[in-house]
Amino acid sequence: MTHRGRMTFGHGTAMYVGAVLGTGVIALPALAAEAAGPASLLAWLALVLLSAPLAGTFAALGARHPDAGGVSTYARLAFGEHAAAVVGWCFYFAVPPGAAAAALFGGAYVSAALGGGTTTTTVTAAGLMVVVTAANAVGLQVSGKLQFALAGLLILLLLVSVGLSLPHADMGNLEPFAPHGWTAIGSAAALLVWSFAGWEAITHLAGEFRRPQRDLPRATAAAVTIVGVLYLLVAFATVAVLGSDAARTNAPLGELMAIGLGGNARWPAAAAAVLLTLGAMNAYYAGAAKLGAALGRDGALPGRLAEGSVAGEVPRRSLAVNSAMSFAALAIVVATGVGSRPLVLLTTGSFVAVYAIGVAAAIKLLPRRSLGRATAIAALVAVVALLLMSGVYLLWPLVVTGAALLYVRLDRRRRRTAEQGQPEGVAELST
């Protein structure tokens, strides 16, 4: 009997909004303004436009091939087991450093509200990881409801903070428009890649939709619109309201709230940061846990992780491994004091590699003359741009690729050895 998932259009939209909107809106508008001034708004607009075909491509694949393996499954169908293992590893092992970075972003806002330092930030980050792990361990239905609530509160907070601050906007703050030259727009865009990673995350949950062929594309279109509008509103308000101060603040959302609400807005900003962080981490933990189970099922990771790969089941073993790696990444960052920037760039490099293989798979798998295939061809532009922006940080996915191929090779050798040691009939049954 085929299991029918329970996720609806609304839950899917909330998952997408949480995964993509994520933590980028907390700090990146200020970082982009520092890099390119008001011209950073063009970088935001460019990435919004580039993300639309990318999101549409993964939605078309998810609707046609709903499976917990997500992009890994598409790579296997298009290019074989080795490509599937590479994509799966790149995504699965990108989530822990990304989760640690996201948790630290949220923790920094709480630290600012409490007046604490590194300890408060670290404890908050660890607490966020515990909450998200527990929510996903209970089951996707609980996780989906949590995501729906978080997305709604998040959108409300962002709209209120931007709406109240915009009356204080000064168009004079847009001059000079490109104080660091037009080439600085590229530098700003490279920072903003983090903000637009996530369109592939929900493909691992495609099988959990009640009607993936209908609801997944609808959820994607709704999320692209919501995320694009919110990013552009926050970015514009950051530049137009804060002016030159936008490049010097670590908490632009808090500054906007302070101007709009008056007085000390550190607590509302901290609340928004925590909601953003929980939403992003919840979506990625859910997707990564399902992916790990699918990889265990397909032989690209140890078979003990396969539990929970079927729609409706909870992949607790895979979730536990992902959570443990996330805590390890957090511990390494805290112990070494290197900060979250390397984690962000390593994560981004891995996701770009996933995008490249995923788009190539879409061009091969989706029917000719279909809207999905046309969208995939358009998405090639986005992928090429993201590859150019990633630069040296593509070395990390190359290392992960080598490790994935080595694991698959050793696993196949182990299986052949085990079969050769069995009686002939048993060996035939195992193949």
**Residue 149 belongs to a domain:** yes
Q: What's the CA gap between 111 and 266, in Å, rounded?
A: 10
Find the domain containing 392 and state its range: 9-401
- What is the distance between the alpha carbons of residues 143 and 130, in angstroms, rounded to a whole number? 13
**Rounded-to-integer distance, Cα 189 and Cα 32, Å:** 8
Whether the model pTM is above 0.95: no
Domain CATH for 354: 1.20.1740.10
Phi and psi of 7, rounded to 5°?
-65, 135
In eight-state DSSP terms, residue 250 is S
Max mean pLDDT range (126-130, 140-144, 262-266, 283-287)? 126-130
Condensed to tens digits (0 to 9), the pLDDT of residues 234-244 reads 889 888 988 88
With a CB cutoff of 8 Å and minimum separation 6, the contacts of 128 are: 103, 106, 107, 274, 277, 278, 281
Number of domains in the chain: 1
Whether the per-residue pLDDT at 250 is higher than 70: the answer is no
Residue-level pLDDT at 430: 46
- Say whether pLDDT at 89 is over 50: yes
- Residue 123 within a domain: yes
> Is residue 47 included in any domain, yes or no?
yes
254 pLDDT above the threshold of 80? no
Does the pLDDT of residue 69 top 90, yes or no? no
Residues 336-354 have pLDDT tens digits of: 887 777 787 788 788 888 8
Is 114 inside any structural domain? yes
Is residue 140 scored above 60 in pLDDT?
Answer: no
> Taking each helix axis from N to C terminus, what angle separates 118-138 and 266-298, rounded to the nearest 10 degrees?
50
Q: Which residue has the higher pLDDT, 424 or 273?
A: 273
Write b or e for each residue in 117-133: b if 16 or more Cβ atoms lie within 10 A of its Cβ, otherwise e.
Answer: eeebbbebbbebbebbb
Q: What is the mean pLDDT of residues 351-371?
A: 87
pLDDT tens digits, 146-181: 666 766 777 787 888 788 888 888 888 888 888 888
The answer to whether position 410 is within a domain reads: no
Sequential DSSP letters for 255-302: HHHHHHH-S--HHHHHHHHHHHHHHHHHHHHHHHHHHHHHHHHHTSS-
Distance CA 309, CA 66 (A): 12
Q: What is the dihedral of CA 204, 99, 40, 160, to 10 degrees?
A: 90
What percentage of the chain reaches a pLDDT higher than 90? 10
Residue 192, in any domain of the structure:
yes
Residue 55 is assigned to a structural domain of this protein = yes
Q: What is the pLDDT of residues 197-219, one digit of tens each?
A: 767 666 666 666 677 677 777 88
pLDDT category, 265, cuts 50, 70, 90? low
Distance CA 205, CA 202 (A): 5
Given a contact cutoff of 8 angstroms between Cβ atoms, the answer to whether 219 and 56 are in contact is no
**Across 17-37, average pLDDT:** 77
> What does the pLDDT read at residue 192?
79
Would 2 be classed as within a structural domain?
Answer: no
How far apart are alpha carbons 296 and 298 in whole angstroms? 5
Mean pLDDT of 411-424: 72
